[in-house]
Structure 1
Amino acid sequence: MTQSVIHRVTALDLGFVPRPWPFADERRAEISAHFAIKQQERPIWNGRVLLGRDPVFTAGRLRASYFETDFASFLAWRDWGFPDAGVFNGFGMGALRCSDGAFVLGEMGQHTANAGRIYFPGGTPDPDDIRGDAVDIAGSIAREIEEETGLTPADYRPHAHWDCVVSGSALAMIRILDIDLAGEALRARIEANLARQDRPELSAIHLVRATRDLTAAMPRFVTAFFENQFAT
């Protein structure tokens, strides 16, 4: 099991610095071949994503810099065991917490790159999340939540802090978002929104109220967050 460390911060200082990625340049032919195989398995698109370097936690703040690359390179880096150890996948996630204490998570559909995985709404940031020379993780979360669930920022209240879960080459910036609905009511609302979509990202909605609700389909950064949450 991957050892995870949680840093609680109140500020994210995430700069965007365009730079080449030697891994992607030097292994381009292998990456293209790998992506072609993945596209045969499911229809995925080679869009653009942002990856991070040089994370530093100090005095309630996370500092790091991001650069842009293509999804094919990201996927190969992930599937091949993260060969460039100086790079991390730093993404935001919205931990929707209902009025009865239940947390809401989504199960990724079979047509997605993470089929069957269960986690909070969120995802690897992309160029749409760049604001000037910074990466807006809060904005990335809001966009992903609306795309996946239909909820907008008017529906929830964000906590002031972030739980940054470092798990291997993943850095999940998780923010609790309180919502004034009970778990079953919110699940029904999200399911109704999914039913209106032609190709929803999510195939099911799961509720977590205690560690007994955790499953092997949840990544380590999710289970580590819950273990810490329910222990306090």
Structure 2
Amino acid sequence: MNREVLIRRVSRVEARCVPMEWAWAEQNRDLIAANWKRRTADKPKMFNGRVLLLRNVEFEKDLCRNTYFETSYADFVAWIDSGYPDKSIANGFAMGALRGSDGAFICGVMGAHTTNAGRVYFAAGTPDLSDLRPDGTVDLASSLTRELIEETGLRENEFHVDDEWIIVQRWPTIALLRMVTLPMTAEEGAGLIRANIAKDSEPELQDVRIIRGVGDIDPKAMPLFLQSFFEWVFTH
């Protein structure tokens, strides 16, 4: 797999889940169990559900084709915490690049009880079984809007989602973004989201942050793929 940062626009994304036994996970059951025990010691609400990880990504003209497999969240977290030892696997997720009518972006700051506490990025989540359709396809478009609504409290009629996808490939992370625009400025949008967070008894976000240019990139709190996205989008 290519480890360089690759960013490209495509008009279509096709995703499918294909059964696969993950050799790394099977060979590291004790490590995974110990890591989950450590992780949940101070975050007991973490749930070991099923997630979909990326085993392959291909591009064909204006099409991005992804192949996923199913595994446990504990497997996934242990793989991350161990430094991504299986280089053939990636975390491939859909993400809404939320912005105001003035072009400034709005990122969330993850809550203290979450796996990525304090990290700054757009609302997103690793695909799970709710994104899997009976024919084996993975509905990444629905995953994007669901995560955005769940984390920000916005309603679907309060934003517009572009059809085009922007793929940020920084293996082992593949972010599949769509521009999501509010009919209000970023400052007004941030205020709305903060009000929604305040009404939620267990919000995933503790706050939001407005990104107006490269000077607002936070290398300590933002994942590398998001830093690359902002560097790209503000120079194009």
| TM-score where L is the length of structure 2 | 0.94
Is 1:204 the counterpart of 2:207? The answer is: yes
Count of residue pairs brought into register by the alignment: 231
The CA deviation at 1:19 is 2.0
Of 25, 37, 59, the match for 2:61: 59
Distance in 2 (CA, whole Å) between partners of 1:40 and 1:28 is 18
The CA deviation at 1:152 is 2.7
Contact 1:142 1:152 in 2 (8 A): no
Equivalent position of 1:147 in the other structure: 150
Summarize deviations over 1:48-96 as a string: whole Å, max 9, x none: 1110112111201111211111111001111111111111100011011
The 5-angstrom pairing of residues 64-83 of structure 1 reads: 64-83=66-85
Of 167, 171, 195, the match for 1:168: 171
Of 149, 153, 162, the match for 1:159: 162
> Structure 2: which amino acid aligns with 1:189?
L
Equivalent position of 2:124 in the other structure: 122
RMSD of aligned Cα (Å): 1.2
Equivalent position of 1:179 in the other structure: 182
The CA deviation at 1:139 is 0.3
Equivalent position of 2:8 in the other structure: 7
Distance in 2 (CA, whole Å) between partners of 1:114 and 1:127 is 21
Equivalent position of 2:17 in the other structure: 16
> Structure 2: which amino acid aligns with 1:83?
P
The CA deviation at 1:202 is 0.3
The CA deviation at 1:46 is 1.1
Summarize deviations over 1:75-131 as a string: whole Å, max 9, x none: 111111111111110001101111111111000011110011000011111100012
Identity %: 41
Equivalent position of 1:224 in the other structure: 228
Gaps of 5+ in 2: none
Of 111, 114, 118, the match for 2:113: 111
Query: Per the alignment, in what secondary structure is the counterpart of residue 131 of structure 1?
Result: coil
> Structure 2: which amino acid aligns with 1:121?
A
Query: Per the alignment, in what secondary structure is the counterpart of residue 24 of structure 1?
Result: helix
Distance in 1 (CA, whole Å) between partners of 2:85 and 2:154 is 37
> Structure 2: which amino acid aligns with 1:56?
E
Distance in 2 (CA, whole Å) between partners of 1:89 and 1:160 is 22
Query: Per the alignment, in what secondary structure is the counterpart of residue 65 of structure 1?
Result: strand
Equivalent position of 1:137 in the other structure: 140
Gaps of 5+ in 1: none
The CA deviation at 1:3 is 4.3
> Structure 2: which amino acid aligns with 1:110?
A
Contact 1:119 1:219 in 2 (8 A): yes
Distance in 2 (CA, whole Å) between partners of 1:146 and 1:57 is 29
| TM-score where L is the length of structure 1 | 0.96
Deviant stretches of 4+, over 3 Å: none
Equivalent position of 1:42 in the other structure: 43
Distance in 2 (CA, whole Å) between partners of 1:116 and 1:4 is 24
